[in-house]
Amino acid sequence: MGHRNEGTASAENEATDRLQRVTQAMARLKVDALPRNYELFHEALFGHDPALARDVASLAASPPQHALDRIGLAYRLTGHCGLIEEKSCVEAARVLSGAADEMAAAIREKQAFVKAMETILHSVREDRDCSVEDLLADIDFLQSSAAELLRSESRAEQALKAGLDRLDAAERAARAAKAEILRDRLTGLPNRIAFANRIESLYESGELPHGVALLIADIDGFGAVNRDYGTESGNRILKRLAAILRKSIKKNDFVARIGADEFAFLFAEVDIAAARAIAGRIHDSVENGLVFATAAGEDNGALGLSIGIALSDGAESAQHLVSQAEQALTVAKADPRAPIACFAPGVSGRRAA
């Protein structure tokens, strides 16, 4: 995010190593190099869901793509969620086609019934010598035709109702899939895509938003934690941090995980003083609540948080606002004694008073 340090370099090396291991695992099973397959194997090797890892480990060589997709869909992986929407469209077309066929059959039955009635009525009018037996036979035929018409219309109604139920289920699945695309699987917080959507929406009207503060926070030394104690320990820290951050903001505020150890906040109707006060409360909550202990139970101390602040009043676009907050974060990380920095308009990298 615009800054490099030892922890960042370590994280990049770890990411490269992970990619190599994922690629090797896929090559051993002869899995196609599709983006969603990379995500699936990454989650299996480095994720926090043992059930997913077991399902992937049970795959035989050259697994069919539908078997891989079935696992990805079952665990709501982001890359597979788009398949649900595609499946919903196919299901909608199938439902509409089936309902149309049933309705067409009902219409044909109704047309046949009307034609039979017209024929019989015409016969009665024209044939003055029509016997009672013939008339009763015609009535029996009409009754039979009417019963079949009712059954046909009932089938059409049931098919339409069942189709609507399937469409409703498909729509719910599509909504759930879209929600998964915007959610970080590890922490449950909104992810970088959700953050991008949220911050871009501030500028949709064409007018510059006023009084919105963007805070970007970074966990100090998180790369070293992953390196020294493993990603499982790092994942536990991130989950705990997410819980702390949720409690640190109000209902209408926004927090998202936008990187491995980076989080973004949006606060409306605040000035620079209020933004600094909010950042201070978040920093203190994390410092007091995020205590890291080793697997042996040894207290390793608290993890710190560096925070960069930028206000929308001085940003012409969402990208500009993010860039300003990143610059402020770079300044904050450079001085552990002052871990909160505000962007100073016109003076890049300078700490605001």
Is residue 295 domain-shared with residue 266, that is, in the same domain?
yes
Is residue 13 domain-shared with residue 99, that is, in the same domain?
no
Q: At 247, which CATH number?
A: 3.30.70.270
Q: How far is CA 93 from the centre of its chain?
A: 24
State the pLDDT at residue 331. Answer: 95
Mean of all residue pLDDT scores within the chain:
83
What CA–CA distance (Å, rounded) separates 63 from 40?
A: 13
Q: Tell me 60's DSSP state.
A: P
State the pLDDT at residue 349. Answer: 42
Q: Is residue 19 part of a domain?
A: yes
What CA–CA distance (Å, rounded) separates 264 from 326?
A: 10
- Output 48 or 323, whichever has higher pLDDT: 323
pLDDT in tens, 157-177: 787 788 778 777 777 777 777
pLDDT in tens, 89-105: 666 777 777 777 777 77
Whether 338 and 329 have beta carbons less than 8 Å apart is answered as no
What angle is formed at CA 125 by the lines to CA 120 and CA 129, rounded to 5 degrees? 95
R_g (Cα) of the chain, nearest Å: 32
Is residue 72 domain-shared with residue 88, that is, in the same domain?
no
Is residue 121 domain-shared with residue 72, that is, in the same domain?
no
Is the overall model pTM greater than 0.75, yes or no?
no
Give the pair of three-digit tokens for residue 234.
């790092």
State yes or no: pLDDT of 18 exceeds 80: yes
* Three-state secondary structure call for residue 266: strand
**Domain span including residue 36:** 6-77
What CA–CA distance (Å, rounded) separates 251 from 240?
A: 19
What is the average pLDDT across 120-136?
Answer: 71
Whether 40 and 77 have beta carbons less than 8 Å apart is answered as yes
Q: pLDDT class for 352, splitting at 50, 70, 90?
A: very low
Is residue 127 domain-shared with residue 147, that is, in the same domain?
yes
State yes or no: pLDDT of 139 exceeds 90: no
Q: Which string of DSSP letters, residue by residue, matches 7-23? A: HHHHHHHHHHHHHHHHH
What angle is formed at CA 133 by the lines to CA 131 and CA 138, rounded to 5 degrees? 100
- What angle separates helix 78-126 from helix 35-46, to the nearest 10 degrees? 120
Q: Is residue 348 part of a domain?
A: no
Count of structural domains, the chain:
3
Q: pLDDT class for 353, splitting at 50, 70, 90?
A: very low
What CA–CA distance (Å, rounded) separates 59 from 64?
A: 10
pLDDT in tens, 222-253: 888 888 888 888 888 999 999 999 999 999 99
Is residue 213 domain-shared with residue 321, that is, in the same domain?
yes
| Residue count of the chain | 353
> Could you say which of 160, 181, 202 is where a domain stops?
181
